[in-house]
Structure 1
Amino acid sequence: MHKNGNNNSSQYRNELKFRIIRTAMPLFKQKGIKAVRMDDIANILSISKRTLYEIYNNKEDLLLEGVKNDYYEMTKRIQDYAMTAENEIDIVVTFFRMKFADLDSITPKFFTELDKYEKVKLFMQEYKTEQQTEATEFIRKCIENGFFVPSINYGIIQEVCDYVMSSVISNSLYKKYTLKDIFCNFFIVLLRGFCTEKGLVLLDLYLKKTYI
């Protein structure tokens, strides 16, 4: 009986952690991280602030778990899709569509305020490093199958992309255009530059089927 009680308690705690993340992350994205108080999250969930702090010591710990959850969910979704995708161009178009799907509902403040949380920044850097090996292998397959141009230094392009995305936020370009329009247009042009004639045919085909 005692063991079952522990199991039930553990299950409740895990379910509550998931509910907290599912409640907090949309709020962080829509209002900005700073604007959302732990009190607000507790009230929405109808739990005490003490209970919330027993699960997450502070807002940064909660934000970190939320960002991790978002990253891992996205990775799982694209891996699952890749198992039945028609080809690499299909995968890359779907990947960007998934990435940009909710940009219209995210305030730019969310991205600017992420930089203030060191644990979150460290995780994002580590995650990016982990993904670089897979990205390199994916690009190799795109080249091998004749979809991507082999003469491009894709490592340089990756660094340029990082600078562009940071610059969009730091220079407040989102005040003139929406984040979705900025990044969709940028990455469509970028992808077209990667593609061979064979790749372009497929890219145009998939872009007609879906708007990134």
Structure 2
Amino acid sequence: MPIEMKERIVKGAEEFFLSYGVKIITMDEIARNLGISKKTIYQYYKDKNELVCEVMNNHLKEREQSYLQIADLAADPIDELIKLSEYIRDSFRNINSIILFEVERYFPKAYKNWVDHKEKCLKGYIVDILNKGKIQGLFRQDINVEMIARLRIEEIQLGFNIAVFPPLQFPIQELQMQFIDYFLHGICTLKGHKLINQYKKIQEED
């Protein structure tokens, strides 16, 4: 029962945070939404900072599992990068676009967990995809995979910068798909470009 309650609190808080942002939601509102007392939440989490960290950790673990599933399902490195971008797009479809900014500004410990995830997990995953693509002749041999992997990650995160891309003007889902299209066309060989066109169902000119 204690484990089930703890998971219920994390899931309930995550749902609230993703919909409305992190800063505005109070422990009282989380408790009210779950139909429990605030005291019950404090039995498991000493404060909101600790709860936000737990929500972030839980979210990142789910993402790591999704990366493994994408790797298993992808037909090739181009398909894998497209599927990864689609996953990112879909996972943020109903998420308040200011959430990452709020976590960075008000919950530095939770944000550090996100930074560590980017460096240790996501970057490593993208490096592996890029190396596979080079071996298969889909990506250019002259690209620096460490540099390009970091560029891709920062490109993803840039889409959440509301000062650069106001969400009402640039919907996050469309933005991320534009980014991956631009990214792939920059790193692909002629063989890779032909494969992109196949996936996009574009008829090549003679």
Question: Corresponding residue for 1:92?
Answer: 81
Contact 2:159-2:172 at 8 Å conserved across structures: no
Cα deviation digits, residues 5-35 of structure 1 (max 9, x gap)? xxxxxxx122122222221112112111112
CA contact (8 A) 2:28 2:38 kept: yes
Q: Distance in 1 between matches of 2:174 and 2:24?
A: 25
Answer whether contact 1:93 1:203 (CA < 8 A) is retained.
no
1:137 aligns with 2:159: no
Structure number with greater CO (CA < 8 Å, separation at least 6) is 1
Q: How many residues align?
A: 197
Q: Percent of aligned positions with the same letter in both sequences? A: 24
Q: What is the match of residue 173 of structure 1?
A: 165
User: With structure 1 as the length reference, what TM-score do the two structures score?
Assistant: 0.82
Q: What letter matches 2:111 in structure 1?
A: K
For residue 181 of structure 1, report the CA deviation from its aligned partner: 2.0
Aligned to 1:125: 115
- RMSD between aligned residues: 2.2
Q: State the TM-score, normalized to the length of structure 2.
A: 0.84
Matched letter for residue 78 of structure 1: Y
> 1:189-204 residue pairs with structure 2 within 5 A?
189-204=182-197
| Matched-pair contact (CA < 8 Å) for 1:78–1:91 | no
Q: SS of 2:93's equivalent?
A: helix
Counterpart pick for 1:54 among 43, 64, 89: 43
Structure in which a larger fraction of residues adopt helix: 1
- What residue in structure 2 maps to residue 13 of structure 1? 2
Per-residue displacement from partner, 1:16-55 (whole Å, max 9, x unpaired)? 2222222111211211111211111111111111111111
Q: Which moves more between the two structures, 81-90 or 15-24?
A: 81-90
Residue in 1 that maps onto 2:204: none
Q: 1:187 to 1:167 in 2, by over 3 A?
A: closer
**Distance in 2, Cα, partners of 1:100 & 1:158:** 18
Q: Which runs of 5+ in 1 are unaligned?
A: 1-11
